[in-house]
Each structure stands twice: as C-alpha cells, then as structure tokens.
Amino acid sequence: MSSYLSFIRDKLIKSKEDRIAQVAILGLEKTGKSTVVNRLIFGTVDEDDPSQLTCYLNVAYGKSIISVLEADEETTRESPYFQDILREIDGVVFVLDIQSQRHIESSSYYIFGLLDKIPQSTPILFLANKIDMPDAVSFTDLLQDPAFQVIMEDINRSVSIYPVSVLTGENFYTAFDWMISRITGRTPLREEVSPKRVIVLQEGGVPVFDYTFDTSIEEHDSTLLGGLISALNIMASTIFESSSVMDVIKLGAFKLIIRKLSGYSVVLFVERNDSESKAQSLAEEILEAFIEEKKRDPTKEMPKQLKFEILSKIPEIAILLDQQPITDSESYEEK
Ligand SMILES: Nc1nc2c(ncn2[C@@H]2O[C@H](COP(=O)(O)OP(=O)(O)OP(=O)(O)O)[C@@H](O)[C@H]2O)c(=O)[nH]1
Ligand SMILES: [Mg+2]
C-alpha cells in the first residue's frame, strides 16, 4: 500500500505540471466515496459496485479531465505520503453520511483531525450524503451542529456544503460543479447558460427526442418546429453552398442552437443572451449522448425516464436537471 501511495504522490506532482485538476475524495468507511468515484466514471451508480479503498484515476468531467483520488480513513491517518498528497491536491471532497446523528458525529471528529493538514488555500466541499434515506438528518439540523458551524465560519477557507444523494444523483453535480469552478476559476454553468428545451430531429425534421428543462416555457409544437428548421436548412443549402446549415437562430426571448451529426440535428433552446459557445458545446454533448444511446439500442423507445437518464450522464446537463435546485437558504457557503 505504501508504495502505491508514493506512486500516487509522484503521479500527482506530475499531473500538476499538466494542469489537471486533482480532487481527493475522503470520508469515513461506507459514507459513499466509491459511489462518488463510480458516478464520476459512469455517470450512474449501481449499488453492487465494488468499494475500492484507495484508487487514483483520471475521469472526464464535461470537456475537462480531472484526477480523483479516493482514500480511506486508515490511509489518510497513517500514510506518511498522504501528508504530501494533501499539500499538493487542488480540492478536497469530504463525504459524510447523514443517515443518523451518530454517523454525523463520527464524521465531524474525523474531519477535525484532518483539517489542519489541508492547506488554507485548498477548497473543501462537504457532501452531506444519503439524503434519500428515510431517517436522514435534515440539512437545517446539520447546519446547526456546532462542529460544522466552526468549519463553515472559517473565513480564511473556501468551504461549501450541499445535501446530496450520490446514489440517486440528486444535487451531486451542482455540488461538484462548485468544486470544479473553485479549482479552475470557471464561471458556474448556471450563470452562463440556461437551457429551456432540447429537441433532436432525424433526417427530414421529424422529432425523435424532446425534453423540456424549464416547464414554465411555452411548449411550441415540436413537429412544426422540426419542419421549420429542416425547411430553412434546405433553402439555405440551395441558396448558399450545399454545406451551409443554420446554427443559431434568435427568436423572441430564445436563442435556438442547432448542431448536426450522423443524420440527426439537435435544437437547444436557451435564453437570448446566454453564452453561445457554451450552449453549442452543450448541444453537441446532448446529441452525442443521444446517438450513443441509439447505437446501443436503435429500436428502443425513449420514455421520459430514459431521456432523463441519457441527459444525466452529461455532468454539465445533470447540474441543470437536479430535481430540487438548491436555494439560497439550503446552501451555505463561505468564501
Ligand atoms: N441510500 C444511499 N446509499 C448510498 C448513497 N451513497 C452511497 N450509498 C451506499 O453506501 C454504501 C457504501 O458506499 P461506498 O461508496 O462503497 O462507500 P465508501 O465510502 O467508498 O466505503 P469504503 O471504501 O468501504 O470505506 C453502499 O452500499 C452504497 O450503495 C446514497 O446517496 N444513498
Ligand atoms: Mg470505497
């Protein structure tokens, strides 16, 4: 084990030169660390997934690559290499199990023991995990816990805590995105683009996938929309060069971002003033995820739940899908 950790430490220092964000996933036994790692790798989790004790691997997060290190309690307490690792790491994610008050207490002891070893400049994200469990301690009660108040009120640190279920995915990407935007200095996605609806059209403009993110918007008829876009594209390619296709249309309060791939087109509705490049990359990711699912099972119907699952596999979209978007009173953040 100790040679594996010295290997991790050396890899970590090397990856730092490559500017890959390094995130440590820490927490007591069975809090959900490996579930976090699995969600990052596969975009979904299976309760029977193996629970690796210490692992270090690169995963794709949206368009970037991050390195994640899962380390169990014993490693963090006992390995001399782990001290070096904590000094090098860009962000720490503490997973704590909030299924009972007793679980929370043991986690807070552990956290206090480690806190001094984490440099002040390293952002720390607390995942208050397992909110799906029936007797889980409420987030409001957790925030009243004096131990957490001390941690959260340390003004010299960048700390945040989110109630999540890594198992169901609820709030997970919102929380993780906080960490990534802290490390990379990137603007959180929510502030750059707010997708309203996405439609995938097959050749000829027939809608084959339709998902509304914002149920308050007016639902335009997707068949008519498909017809409009395909007619416009046919006319455009007749008038201009044959390869010309429309890629952005501004219409009232919306901007329609259009992308084409393998005979399908995606139309993503965003707000008129949203970041165009960000919206284009989201539209491409959705179309790629759709095509991948189609390849896997060309005949399969896509009920709403499956569409939701396809979209949830894209971290940046999953943030927007969180069933219960976090409100100011629910999230507690200190800069
Ligand atoms: N209900 C519920 N169970 C969860 C959640 N996250 C993880 N679990 C379960 O908690 C158990 C432990 O999860 P792991 O991810 O293996 O935890 P770990 O921290 O990696 O555990 P060790 O590596 O063994 O220390 C598994 O049975 C998971 O399915 C959650 O959000 N809700
Ligand atoms: Mg594990």
Q: Is 73 in the pocket of ligand 1 (CB under 6 A)?
A: no
Contact call for residues 45 and 35 (beta carbons, < 8 A): yes
The pick from 29, 30, 168, 172 for probing ligand 1's pocket by mutation, whose C-beta has the most ligand atoms within 8 angstroms, reads 30
User: What's the confidence (pLDDT) of residue 99?
Assistant: 95
CATH 3.40.720.10 fits 2-186, yes or no: no
Location of each CATH 3.30.450.70 domain in the chain: 197-321
Segment 134-188, tens digit of pLDDT: 999 999 899 888 888 888 887 778 899 999 999 988 889 889 988 988 888 776 6
What is the torsional sign of CA 280, 283, 289, 290? negative
Q: Is 130 in the pocket of ligand 1 (CB under 6 A)?
A: yes
Judge whether residue 1 has pLDDT over 70: no
Over pLDDT 90: what percentage of the chain? 36
Contact call for residues 31 and 104 (beta carbons, < 8 A): no
Q: Is 27 in the pocket of ligand 1 (CB under 6 A)?
A: yes
The pTM score is 0.71
Atom of ligand 1 lying closest to residue 72 CA: 25
Average pLDDT over residues 265-283: 90
Q: Ligand 1 centre and the CA of 286: distance in Å? A: 29
Q: Which residues pair with 23 in a beta bridge?
A: 68, 91
Give the chain's mean pLDDT: 85
User: What's the confidence (pLDDT) of residue 201?
Assistant: 94
- Rg over CA atoms, the chain: 22
Protein fold of 197-321: Beta-Lactamase (3.30.450)
Segment 85-119, tens digit of pLDDT: 999 999 999 999 999 999 999 998 899 889 889 99
Q: Is 116 in the pocket of ligand 1 (CB under 6 A)?
A: no
Judge whether residue 206 has pLDDT over 80: yes
Widest CA span of the chain, in angstroms? 71
Location of each CATH 3.40.50.300 domain in the chain: 2-186
Q: Is 55 in the pocket of ligand 1 (CB under 6 A)?
A: no
